[in-house]
Structure 1
């Protein structure tokens, strides 16, 4: 597993680099008429050789994206992470290999042609698909395959944002179904490997490389400033609800439109093209094109100081994101969420400063807290957002504002809209997945904690009818277990020709291993014996039936309510 994680991590790092090059090539061809790979997403595209023809660039991208998704991999549509979560919880970590190829090309075309989506969702799905493919080729158990899927996703996040801790925490918060050394070791190896390859190919600088953000010493902030992040967190919670609901409202609206996938996606991207042309015509910059990092850099560098214009950009980014994803685009939601959080946070901070001039406001701090809050509240990954923002900026002083804002924002979103942007998509298709971690109490239980002594041992005489009892009846012959009678199973199903099957386990065997053994054997009863190697009735000390498992699960439900 460690060796496989190393391979998955290497592919994650190299894949993130290759994905960026592909985006750069397509962006330069479509926006600049140049066949170049180099593209700095943190800088504005300040040239428009197409004139009004720029409106059709997103439409051309829409045609290609729709063809790829419709023809080869419908899973590549949208922001990708829900498909990974669905594969983990409902398909044993199985993802079709073609998804990685189609997702990378479709998302690169969508982003390169101006679609308002991020590059993190695609690389998560690409890394996950590769991890799943490796697991399928080697025929490893589902639990290990799921670990490789999570490792691939974590590797993608780490390499994309140069945030190894963020990648690990992302896997913990959203993907892993079991968190222990067995799962964390491969995930950590993949994440570190991907980060190393990413830094070697893309550079060691943080995602938002600004001197003003590089603080290595903690500074005690004003308590009034800290308290101001409470109402700001409430605002960000409402904004995250709009972000989550808006994307699916747009999907429903476009799905209800007459026509087909091509006409729907092209119509949505035509509106995006009109917005891009209008923004460039008026301001000389597109602002909301692609992943939007250039505008975020403007906010963090305090180059945008008009709260009204910042709020306008926030609304415009929401609209273009809804149009892009809702109409059928392919790409992530992290980057649009950060854009919305940065512009809304800076607008909030500047507005407070205008209303109360003497208030100790740090506008950039509000922008950073807004970025983390939008990611954390909309995805449910609060710790991931907090850790990632610290890694992406090298600013240690944002930790407390980020935590305050993110937790409050997520609480507001959870109260009003229980589903995150990831889980809502799955719920709409009838697949419920947990949002949050729960203690792995199954791993702390053994058979002795659950087994029942409500059984009886009687001599097996096939000429006599099966005795009626509320207990599990173990029928023995010559001191050996021959048959079982379960009072919960109809007698007609327990004849001598079709007896109830069982497995034999020890009292000290773990519950998880016992359940796995029962599943593999296709039985619902375990006979608990002091010596499983022997089938002597004298060694039987208990039974484990669906009744005991049901009672155990009922008691656990009270703890997790």
Structure 2
């Protein structure tokens, strides 16, 4: 017969402990793996940028050069229209006969794998995604390299997790770590990359997952300095600290850019819906979209390619209002058509180009109409760049910190926070989904949008269990128990804790145990116990109790003394746990209580 002292190893080994997000030996193991993923992401990012540069120069200048060139500097004339079309035909073939997963932004696809596929990404994506993106961007696609490298880094982390013996939750952490390291490798923005992982990929905020992501990004940032140098990605003149009037104007800027972000998101998916209705196979959609890219690129060459220099020019104040309007509008149309066609490309750089141009134009307008506010148009461009991404993706903290890290303009911190928060608020009021979640939401995938502490991790078992339990003596016979149950009638429970003479738990007995065929009425109850009782201490959390119930498939747990772990103090049932949840739900909906 199982005895109480043997319960402790089973009960304690069946759950993580009092803090479900706490740091343990597995965290150190994941941290080491994430650092390896972060180290691998840097040469992968460097290779992608070199490949984009090579394809760009071959496509538009007809020469070998690995630097990140500008497609706008070409002498092809009207023939420039054909270059994006050729590249998109190749990408379409790669998507159809290689992997359809290479289509799209990169981040939404990673979200989908996390939520639906236990963070498993095919090995083919690891090389098909960057290669297809390099071809798409190198032949004039109006995308940034960050989306593909984020997807590639995520695939790298996922594959690490598939090769090793780790849980799906740990594999999700490695996927997020790889994606964040990829972003760090491109922009040199490790803090905002960590925040991107938290806001868009991890769907949680706990040390066990956060530390490995930090390790990956820190490793990637250090190696990036060695390989690419240490300088702001978007260099611009140093800005002065904004005055109160400029901070007030930041609210207006954020609201207007937030409205624009909503319009941009809806326009993108309207284009995507239009392609869905075309009577041709989706493999040919990128080529049709690229025709528009080529035509716009012939008219406005600066819209072709990654266009990082466009963001720098908008932030630096070197473009006039007319040039800003043409560049921002043309880039928006070109990018939305290209991405809506299902080709391979990212969203971050195009959104920031449009946002920086819009912010600068609004800044010039505010400065002309209200010179007393002291709003610098360059500061307005910086706010517009970040607020556009905040409004479209609702990655609020990522947007603020990215603008600071990418430009080294610490003086813009407060203005950025105000502007991005305003855009975030407008987006939340007017748009249920975001540019990152709309596509997968249409497929029935529900993406978490808010993170909060686990209420069960904060609730003690003793506060919700019945602390005056009805127990049964282990020496009692089956016949005696049956007579007692008949006397209890409807007041009888479905299960009882068995205790010895010292009040220590021996096991748990249910009515199902008494229904065994051929049971001798004189059999002691202790003889019916076939498994070690799973118990929970009175001071432990409901989170621990739920883990025990789930792992062992039981519906009730004897509550034992915190000191010795065997003396019965109460009984916790599934109804008690549901009662705790009901209590929390009522408190959350009652105003003034």
Partner of 2:559: 528
Instruction: State the 1:256 CA deviation.
Output: 0.9
Relative to structure 1, the CA distance from residue 442 to residue 77 in structure 2 (aligned partners, 3 Å threshold; closer, same or farther) is: farther
Relative to structure 1, the CA distance from residue 224 to residue 429 in structure 2 (aligned partners, 3 Å threshold; closer, same or farther) is: same
Secondary structure of residue in 1 paired with 2:478: coil
Instruction: State the 1:420 CA deviation.
Output: 1.7
Instruction: State the 1:372 CA deviation.
Output: 0.5
Relative to structure 1, the CA distance from residue 14 to residue 95 in structure 2 (aligned partners, 3 Å threshold; closer, same or farther) is: same
Does residue 518 (structure 1) correspond to residue 566 (structure 2)? The answer is no
Secondary structure of residue in 2 paired with 1:519: helix
Q: Is the 8 A contact 1:380 1:435 kept in 2?
A: no
Unaligned runs of 5+ in 2: 1-29, 501-505, 518-528
Does residue 33 (structure 1) correspond to residue 62 (structure 2)? The answer is yes
- Superimposed CA distance per residue, residues 493-539 of structure 1 (whole angstroms, 9 cap, x where no aligned partner): 99648x999843222334434433433334444343349999x8xx4
Partner of 1:266: 287
Partner of 1:108: 134
Q: Is the 8 A contact 2:95 2:283 kept in 1?
A: no
- Superimposed CA distance per residue, residues 361-396 of structure 1 (whole angstroms, 9 cap, x where no aligned partner): 311111000001011111111111111111111112
Out of 398, 410, 415, the position equivalent to 1:396 is: 410
Out of 436, 458, 463, the position equivalent to 1:444 is: 458
- Tell me which moved more, 163-172 or 461-470: 461-470
**How far apart, CA to CA, are the structure 1 residues paired with 2:66 and 2:573?**
62
**How far apart, CA to CA, are the structure 1 residues paired with 2:123 and 2:464?**
41
Relative to structure 1, the CA distance from residue 275 to residue 8 in structure 2 (aligned partners, 3 Å threshold; closer, same or farther) is: same
Structure 2 length as normaliser, TM-score? 0.83
Does residue 461 (structure 1) correspond to residue 472 (structure 2)? The answer is no
Partner of 2:4: none
Does residue 300 (structure 1) correspond to residue 315 (structure 2)? The answer is yes
Secondary structure of residue in 1 paired with 2:559: strand
Out of 248, 254, 261, the position equivalent to 2:275 is: 254
Partner of 1:175: 201
Q: Is the 8 A contact 1:154 1:190 kept in 2?
A: yes
Does residue 87 (structure 1) correspond to residue 113 (structure 2)? The answer is yes
**How far apart, CA to CA, are the structure 2 residues paired with 1:496 and 1:15?**
64
Relative to structure 1, the CA distance from residue 256 to residue 453 in structure 2 (aligned partners, 3 Å threshold; closer, same or farther) is: farther
- Superimposed CA distance per residue, residues 223-272 of structure 1 (whole angstroms, 9 cap, x where no aligned partner): 22221222211110111101211221111110111110122221111111
**How far apart, CA to CA, are the structure 2 residues paired with 1:316 and 1:46?**
14
- Alignment of structure 1 residues 120-519 onto 2, 5 Å: 120-210=146-236, 212-213=237-238, 219-279=240-300, 286-305=301-320, 307-356=321-370, 360-453=374-467, 456-457=470-471, 461=478, 469=490, 472-475=493-496, 479=500, 480-481=506-507, 483-485=509-511, 496=516, 503-519=534-550
Q: Is the 8 A contact 1:148 1:186 kept in 2?
A: yes
Does residue 14 (structure 1) correspond to residue 48 (structure 2)? The answer is no
Q: Is the 8 A contact 2:242 2:415 kept in 1?
A: no
Q: Is the 8 A contact 1:454 1:472 kept in 2?
A: no
Secondary structure of residue in 1 paired with 2:63: coil
- Tell me which moved more, 435-444 or 99-108: 435-444
Which structure's CA Rg is the greater one? 2
Secondary structure of residue in 2 paired with 1:541: strand
Q: How many residues align?
A: 537
**How far apart, CA to CA, are the structure 1 residues paired with 2:61 and 2:514?**
76
Relative to structure 1, the CA distance from residue 543 to residue 142 in structure 2 (aligned partners, 3 Å threshold; closer, same or farther) is: farther
Partner of 2:33: 4
Instruction: State the 1:414 CA deviation.
Output: 0.5
**How far apart, CA to CA, are the structure 2 residues paired with 1:359 and 1:178?**
40
- Superimposed CA distance per residue, residues 55-110 of structure 1 (whole angstroms, 9 cap, x where no aligned partner): 11111121122222223332222112122223333333332332222211122222
Out of 120, 124, 127, the position equivalent to 1:98 is: 124
Relative to structure 1, the CA distance from residue 309 to residue 49 in structure 2 (aligned partners, 3 Å threshold; closer, same or farther) is: closer
Instruction: State the 1:50 CA deviation.
Output: 3.1
Q: Is the 8 A contact 2:72 2:302 kept in 1?
A: no
Q: Is the 8 A contact 2:242 2:375 kept in 1?
A: no
Instruction: State the 1:473 CA deviation.
Output: 2.8
- Tell me which moved more, 423-432 or 517-526: 517-526
**How far apart, CA to CA, are the structure 2 residues paired with 1:295 and 1:156?**
22
- Tell me which moved more, 90-99 or 360-369: 90-99
Partner of 1:282: none
Does residue 551 (structure 1) correspond to residue 579 (structure 2)? The answer is yes
Instruction: State the 1:445 CA deviation.
Output: 3.4
**How far apart, CA to CA, are the structure 2 residues paired with 1:417 and 1:309?**
30
**How far apart, CA to CA, are the structure 1 residues paired with 2:384 and 2:514?**
63
Partner of 1:56: 82
Secondary structure of residue in 2 paired with 1:179: coil
Partner of 1:283: none
- Tell me which moved more, 22-31 or 444-453: 444-453
Structure 1 length as normaliser, TM-score? 0.87
Q: Is the 8 A contact 1:8 1:130 kept in 2?
A: yes
